[in-house]
């Protein structure tokens, strides 16, 4: 059980709080995992009375909780809630919050969750400190910051300079919700708990690595955010870069926070810098155009509400990276992400090298395809190994078969990534949160690409919504590496 604490959610009336944070806290309540004395202060600009807000939360939970609401759990959860109306641009809002938190009913340990646009981070943290809410006098203070942490290397450095004047690094919890997904954590377990994989996990046996995250959805109501962000910043610089680090890292000394993060930083520092002249060979971007998803006609990106009709913001991004260390020298890592694709899929695919000798040449058999290890993160959670075997019958023919292992049994409940991460914050476990040097080195990798793309504003390739991927992306792939669709449907 964690220590008693007060959780303050800035932006409690926004999408993230309503879709993820409040339902996750409710699920933890139902599981009996919240501290008994936890109090939740929800801050927003809408004018709610305490009872009106509690009813609003009940409506939110009825819509977004995994299962039908349990009356007792819902009642207990709502009793923890307090609502504070205020404009965060006004100093008196923070004065009111400081006065509120000094009340007897609120435990002295405080978590501040900033569920707001990134441009607000620096000023909000400064206001908390100015009103004495970050001072630790026999109690701890922790601040959770959502991604993106900056929009470029320079902006990330400037933001860090601002917040480091008010927060220590051990008080700062930079959240990447992908790190809370069970199957992402299973990448670590699969690697380091199975001795048979370790001898093969290097450049001598692995041909290349593909990490992908695609979705069927478009930008929806996020056009304002997405126009300033794009796929490279939104997904690749954060989520996929973290997955790459987990796949490529050396075994940590322990699973303590800094030991784990030290090894991830070593990977990011080892990524071969992309020279501006090499951007076209190692990076690709595109936008989705009008097309069909599941048989339904959908608009192109430039037709979405709030999107500049001349926008060159990418909705698809792909990178080819090399990690220049002893284990991975000259092994390509392909990272790609896109909206309005044929399937919603997140996976890590490890392609092994083919045997050095073609033993079946005399039997006129085609060279068997390579072995693959596929870690599927979404929609299903599974491990799959693809190997070659002999076909039944008298002729010497081979075929590929899949050895599938689902991660979760049917009776085992799913949990949301935010549930574990919220508990980790309250317990002070920083293992799955990003340290600043991780963020900075990830920006160093993509910054040259962003710089070149910022100057190339005349044309962005497009692809029809519902396609598997833009055809032109094959230019950044070596050999036959771009042929990956069979991984989605081995049958």
d(CA 316, CA 235): 10
What is the β-pairing status of strands 296-298 and 172-174? unpaired
Q: Tell me whether residue 239 is one of the annotated catalytic residues.
A: yes
Task: Exactly one of 239, 358, 463, 481 is catalytic; name it.
Answer: 239
Which among 113, 124, 120 has a CA at the least distance from the CA of 42?
113
Preceding amide of 148 cis, omega within 30: yes
58: number of Cβ within 10 Å: 16
Q: Using N-to-C axis directions, what is the helix angle for 71-79 and 50-64, rounded to 10°?
A: 140
Residue 289's contacts (CB-CB under 8 Å, 6 or more residues apart) are 300, 301, 302, 462, 463, 464, 465
108: its two tokens:
């002295």
Other Cβ atoms closer than 10 A to 257:
17
Q: Output the CA torsion sign for 397, 400, 403, 406.
A: negative
Question: Who's near 334: CB < 8 A, 6+ residues apart?
Answer: 208, 209, 210, 211, 212, 318, 319, 320, 321, 476, 477, 481
Tokens read off for 258 = 């800094």
Q: Return all residues near 245 (Cβ < 8 A) that are at least 6 apart.
A: 263, 264, 267, 268, 438
As to burial, measured by CB atoms within 10 angstroms (0-12 exposed, 13-18 middle, 19+ buried), residue 220 is exposed
DSSP-derived secondary structure letter, 300: -
On whether the CB atoms of residues 350 and 384 are closer than 8 A, the answer is: no
The Cα–Cα gap between 146 and 16 comes to 10
Inter-residue contact 316 to 286 (CB < 8 Å): yes
Q: Are strands 81-85 and 6-10 parallel, antiparallel or unpaired?
A: unpaired
List the beta strands (DSSP E) in 359-435: 372-378, 382-390, 398-406
Return the number of other C-beta atoms located less than 10 Å from residue 102's C-beta: 11
Residue pair 368/398 in contact (Cβ under 8 Å)? The answer is: yes
Which are the contacts of 68, defined by CB distance < 8 A and separation ≥ 6? Answer: none
Query: Which two tokens mark 322?
Result: 């090399």
Q: Is 138 left (phi over 0), alpha (psi -120 to 50) or beta?
A: left
* 118: its two tokens: 């990134």
Strands (E), 147-299: 172-174, 206-214, 283-289, 291-293, 296-298
Active site residues: 239
């Amino acid at each position: 059980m964690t220590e008693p604490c007060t959780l303050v959610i800035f932006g409690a009336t926004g999408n993230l709080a309503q879709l993820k944070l409040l339902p996750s806290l409710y699920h933890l309540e139902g599981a009996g995992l919240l501290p008994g004395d936890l109090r939740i202060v929800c801050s927003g600009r809408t004018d709610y009375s305490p009872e009106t807000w509690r009813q609003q939360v009940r409506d939110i939970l009825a819509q977004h909780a995994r299962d039908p609401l349990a009356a007792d759990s819902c009642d207990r959860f709502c009793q923890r809630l307090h609502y504070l109306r205020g404009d965060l641009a006004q100093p008196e809002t923070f004065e009111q919050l400081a006065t509120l938190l000094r009340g007897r009913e609120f435990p002295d340990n405080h978590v501040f969750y900033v569920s707001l646009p990134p441009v607000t981070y620096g000023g909000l943290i400064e206001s908390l400190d100015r009103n004495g809410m970050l001072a630790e006098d026999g109690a701890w203070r922790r601040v959770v910051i959502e991604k993106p942490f900056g929009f470029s290397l320079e902006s990330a450095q400037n933001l860090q300079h601002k917040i480091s004047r008010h927060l220590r690094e051990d008080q700062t919890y930079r959240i990447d919700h992908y790190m809370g997904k069970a199957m992402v954590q299973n990448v670590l377990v699969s690697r380091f708990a199975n001795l048979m994989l370790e001898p093969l996990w290097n450049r001598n046996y692995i041909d290349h690595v593909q990490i992908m995250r695609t979705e069927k959805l478009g930008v929806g109501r996020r056009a304002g955010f997405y126009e300033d962000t794009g796929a490279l910043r939104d997904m690749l610089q954060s989520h996929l870069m973290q997955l790459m680090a987990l796949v490529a890292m050396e075994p940590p000394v322990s699973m303590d926070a800094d030991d784990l993060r030290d090894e991830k930083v070593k990977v990011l520092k080892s990524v071969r810098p992309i020279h501006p002249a090499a951007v076209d060979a190692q990076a690709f971007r595109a936008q989705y155009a009008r097309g069909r998803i599941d048989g339904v006609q959908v608009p192109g990106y430039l037709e979405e509400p709030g999107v500049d009709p001349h926008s060159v913001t990418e909705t698809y991004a792909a990178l080819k990276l090399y990690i220049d260390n002893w284990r991975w020298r000259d092994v390509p890592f392909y990272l790609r992400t896109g909206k309005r694709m044929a399937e919603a899929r997140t996976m890590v695919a490890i392609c092994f090298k083919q045997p050095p000798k073609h033993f079946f040449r005399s039997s006129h058999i085609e060279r068997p395809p390579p072995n693959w290890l596929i870690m599927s993160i979404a929609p299903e959670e599974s491990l799959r190994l693809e190997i070659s075997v002999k076909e039944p019958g008298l002729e010497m023919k081979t075929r590929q078969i899949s050895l599938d292992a689902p991660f979760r049994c049917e009776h085992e409940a799913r949990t949301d990534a935010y549930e574990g991460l919220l508990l980790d914050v309250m317990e002070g476990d920083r293992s799955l949160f990003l340290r600043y040097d991780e963020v900075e080195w990830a920006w160093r990798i993509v910054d040259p690409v962003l710089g070149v793309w910022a100057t190339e504003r005349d044309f962005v390739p497009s692809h029809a919504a519902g396609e598997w991927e833009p055809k032109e992306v094959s230019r950044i792939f070596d050999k036959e590496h771009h042929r990956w669709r069979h991984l989605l449907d081995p049958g």
